Amino acid sequence: MNTLSQLLEIASRLDHLGGCAEWIARETVHTDNSISQTGTLISVLAEDIREKITNLVSELEQISGMEGSH
């Protein structure tokens, strides 16, 4: 499995995790506030991880581009 495939798989799993967490948060908001808040937290963390991975890949691409220009 190449790097791009791995990144796409990670993104897909984060999408699924975030979607499930949002669903849990919506479905439990009126019945169990703790579970709803946990769902919201998981959703936010999944998005934060996605952003950090995107930034990391961008930095690696920039470094790779700089090394290739020398």
Give per-residue pLDDT as tens, 3-34. Answer: 889 999 999 999 999 999 999 999 999 999 99
Number of H helices, E strands in the chain: 2, 0
Rounded Cα gap, residues 11 and 54, in angstroms: 10
Query: Domain count of the chain?
Result: 1
**Quick one: pLDDT at residue 69?**
67
Rounded Cα gap, residues 59 and 47, in angstroms: 18
Q: What is the percent of the chain with per-residue pLDDT over 90, rounded to a whole number?
A: 79
In a domain, 2, yes or no: no
Domain that holds residue 57: 7-68
The answer to whether residue 67 scores a pLDDT higher than 90 is no
Contact between residue 65 and residue 47 where contact means Cβ atoms under 8 Å apart: no
**Quick one: pLDDT at residue 22?**
98
In a domain, 49, yes or no: yes
The answer to whether residue 47 scores a pLDDT higher than 80 is yes
